Structure 1
Amino acid sequence: MKLSLILATFCIVFSNFIFGQNNFSNNPLDAIFETKDSKFFWEVFDKMDKSKQNPFIEYMQKGSPGVKGFTENRIINADSLFAVVKKRKADYELSRNVLDGISSKEKRVRAIYSALKYWYPNAKFPPIYFVYRRFNSGGTSAPEGIIIGTEMLKNLDGVSGLIAHELVHYQQNITGKDMLLKWCLLEGGADFIGELISGESINKFSYKYGDQNLDKLCQEFVTRLKKTDYQDWLYGTSKKDDRPNDLGYWIGYKITESYFNKQKDKQKAIEEILNIKDPMEFLKQSGFLDAFIEKYQKSKKENYSEFFK
């Protein structure tokens, strides 16, 4: 499955409560891949037609912290999971053997973790859980660790890039006023650093569209970036045009990339990207939207500096 589709189903992260977890290892070689939930899912799945009660009660009770982390908002309870599995049994079957090659990805992810350690020595490395839920999230970052919705995967293509993106979220501590810009920097920054440490781009379709429509989109974003309405930029569109979901990832990436390229000390730049205190000041220092801001301010008969007040 294309990772752009998986990302479109991710739950939005509107707080930093999961970042900087002290109970996670600071050694990239300690990366944990927990797949026992997948094995246990198929054991209870194969009992469905014979069992007199809901077999997924057992799955929920014996599940790892990853299952627990997905329960409240995604799995809900054993009955909800059972209902979806019965209805979409054939769809679940498509992912039965998807984790067979996970050992090769495990080596790749350890290398990605080590790359982040180089760029950001204070990095923490959460465990990665592969669990089954109700086709309503490809994965997320949670207090328990990185949680991947295994039924969404038809193969392992792009999984290491996806994990890299989520890994960055654990390092971020982005503060400042709630606005579209802040959340685009959160997601775009995770994409930028995730690509830096993995060499993989996980939003190729939306990024191609963004680059092809850069002027139009930047002009619009300048008028929207201070607002708290995320529609048409993050996690859904109004269908007013042919734009894909999550263009906020793209523009956040472009701003972050511009900031990074301007800094002489690249390791320090990564630390600053992960710990943005003032999104507007970060935007100003990036210089990425300067021409569009100046044009917008001129139309309002205001000067450039007033935009950042």
Structure 2
Amino acid sequence: MKMQPLALAIILAGLFNACSTPGPIHQEQRLVSADIDRFWSAYDQILAEPDTARHLQILKDVFISPASEGQQQLFAIRNYTPEEYLANIRAYPRFYASLRPLLEQRAPIEADIRAALEKFRQLYPPMQRGKIYLGMGNFRTNGTTVDSMVLFGAEMAFTDSTVHTSEFPPSYQYFKDYIRDYDPIHNVRFLAAHEFVHTQQAEAYNTSLLAIVLREGSAEFIASLCMESPSVVPAIAYGDANRDTVFQRFKQELFNQHPAWWVWSGAPNPFGQRDMGYYIGYALSEHYYYQAADKQQAIADLIELDYSAAAAVASFVDQMGYFKQPLAKLKEAYEAARPTVTKVEQNERRFTVHFSEPMDTLYRGFDYGPLGETHVLRIDQYLGFSPDGQRLSFTATLKPEKIQQLELSRRFRNLKGIELRPYLVTTERD
């Protein structure tokens, strides 16, 4: 049978489209915000229902049960319950009334996020499938990731200074500070791009400070390329203006295992600026990218690095050539500068630990010894540091019939931020 020209053209066009590289038409599948609309639908029905005994069921039927996969994950990882949602709806009516207009005008933000994701696909063609879910939570996260999903709590991420917070109790001061410090709705585009980059990267928890800051900073740098604008994180601008001072401090703490105030913390620090580790990783990534002849490969390197392996991260940073000395030399200086425990005095149940130098009294950490939990020297009362920070006292339960152990871990740190060389306290068996 002879094929008609029009039919042949249609088949060929179909084959071409099936084999071509996916384009922007797929972006709608990567951004899901229907949970916000479901929340407001439940909200309206609850306010209109005089029988309060039906409110919880309305919430479950309209918002909880039909929730997207991302919203379901948000429920699970933050332990959000239907009862908590209902309690907040009843407790904070002025807040929700002021939040709603911001969420109803989110279309331009969604368009910008889709554009950023398309730009990311161009910068990094191997991009794995991922989704961004704009959901509703209960004030315990503005944004996080689970596998290939970015999960937003829009009740935090889409706020600004116009929302009413007078109904919140003192325990919600962190939320007021967050709104004041971040102006969230104006930064949510950047945050979405940053978190989406993370869905393509290996995790860096419990590896090293260097791995953590490079993972965070590389995501922020790549997000700036996707957004085609400078980072909105205040630490980046501060770091650019104080580069030498910030990096000098970081080199002292570079081989710390724990991030302390460098990331995910507003704890007091020498710069009065939170999350300075984002700047460290950003500056390293920026240096690597602009020195590279193949920019696309540089982005792939920053994304595909095994951040779960501290040695791999250290080798990669050495190859960058940013630091004047190899990391092995910096590690020698770090080890030589680490504080130590010089002795432990015991007076019956009271133990006094003596350190080689004054310690930062904001940090401490105790752990099991090699014999595990069954042989732990359990602290009864933590008595604290001496005024000069060179001694620490506590009382413990003694069990003369067995050897007991307690490790003073590297979470202790000196005034320069350098972690303690771990020390094992051991009691002898009678």
Q: TM (normalized to structure 2)?
A: 0.58
Deviations 1:17-73 (A, max 9, x none): xxxxxxxx9644312332221112112223445331424333222211121111123
Match of 1:31 in 2: 27
Give structure 2 stretches of 5+ with no counterpart. 1-20, 161-184, 307-311, 337-430
* Closer/same/farther in 2, CA of residues 200 and 271 from structure 1, 3 Å limit: same
Matched, 1:121 2:125: yes
The answer (yes or no) to whether the contact 2:144–2:151 under 8 Å persists in 1 is yes
Alignment partner, residue 155 of structure 2: 151
Superposition deviation, residue 300 in structure 1: 7.2
The whole-number CA distance in structure 1 between the counterparts of 2:42 and 2:335 is: 66
Q: Identify the match of residue 78 of structure 1 among 74, 78, 82.
A: 82
The CA deviation at 1:246 is: 1.4
Note the alpha carbon deviations across 1:276-306, whole angstroms, 9 max, x for none.
Answer: 241112211222232697996796799xxxx
Determine what percentage of the aligned residue pairs are the same residue.
25
Other structure's SS at 1:140 match: strand
Deviations 1:174-219 (CA, angstroms, capped at 9, x unpaired): 6798101111111111101111111234443111222333223212
Structure having the higher helix fraction is 1
In the TM superposition, 1:1-309 aligns within 5 A as: 27-32=23-28, 33-49=31-47, 50=50, 51-53=52-54, 54=56, 55-58=58-61, 59-143=63-147, 145-152=149-156, 153-154=158-159, 156-173=185-202, 178-277=207-306, 278-290=312-324
Whole-angstrom CA distance in 2 between matches of 1:236 and 1:36: 32
Q: Is the 8 A contact 1:120 1:270 kept in 2?
A: yes
Moved more, 292-301 or 232-241: 292-301
Taking the aligned partners of 2:36 and 2:335, their CA distance within structure 1 comes to: 60
Which residue in the other structure is 1:15 paired with? none
Question: Is 1:26–1:125's contact at 8 Å kept on the other side of the alignment?
Answer: no
On the 8 A contact 1:129/1:146 being kept in 2, the answer is yes
2:33, 2:332 → 1: CA distance?
Answer: 56
Q: Read off the aligned partner of 2:117 and give its amino acid letter.
A: Y
Post-superposition offset of 1:169: 1.1
CA separation of 1:40/1:112 partners in 2, compared to 1, >3 Å: closer, same or farther?
same
| Residues 130 and 147, structure 1, Cα contact 8 Å, conserved in 2 | yes
Question: What root-mean-square deviation, in Å, do the aligned CA atoms of Structure 1 and Structure 2 show?
Answer: 3.0
Q: SS of the residue aligned with 1:141?
A: strand
Q: Is the contact between residue 78 and residue 140 of structure 2 (CA under 8 Å) also seen in structure 1?
A: yes
On the 8 A contact 1:158/1:200 being kept in 2, the answer is no
Question: Do the aligned partners of 2:150 and 2:199 also contact (CA within 8 Å) in 1?
Answer: no
Contact 1:192 1:253 in 2 (8 A): yes
Give the stretch that moved more between structures: 244-253 or 117-126.
117-126
**Does the 8 A contact of 2:206 with 2:258 survive in 1?**
no
Question: Would you say the 8 A contact 2:204–2:212 is kept in 1?
Answer: no
**Which gives a bigger RCO, structure 1 or 2 (Cα 8 Å, sep 6+)?**
1
Does the 8 Å CA contact 1:38/1:131 hold for their aligned counterparts? yes
> 1:133 deviation in Å?
0.7
Shift of 1:233: 0.4
1:221-246 deviation digits (Å, cap 9, x = unpaired): 11222222111101114314452221
Between the aligned partners of 2:324 and 2:84, the Cα distance in structure 1 is: 50
Distance 2:278 2:206 in 1: 19
Judging changes above 3 Å, is the alpha-carbon distance between structure 1 residues 233 and 175 closer, same or farther for their aligned structure 2 residues? closer
Structure 2: how far apart are the matches of 1:260 and 1:207?
17
Task: Give the AA of the match of 1:34.
Answer: V
Show structure 1 runs of 5+ residues with no match.
1-24, 303-309
Give the aligned residue type for 2:53.
K
The one-letter code of the counterpart of 1:62 is: P
Distance 2:330 2:300 in 1: 31
Write out per-residue CA displacement over residues 133-183 of structure 1, whole angstroms, 9 at most, x where no aligned residue.
111211122236222211121365333222211121122236798101111
Give 1:79 shift: 1.4
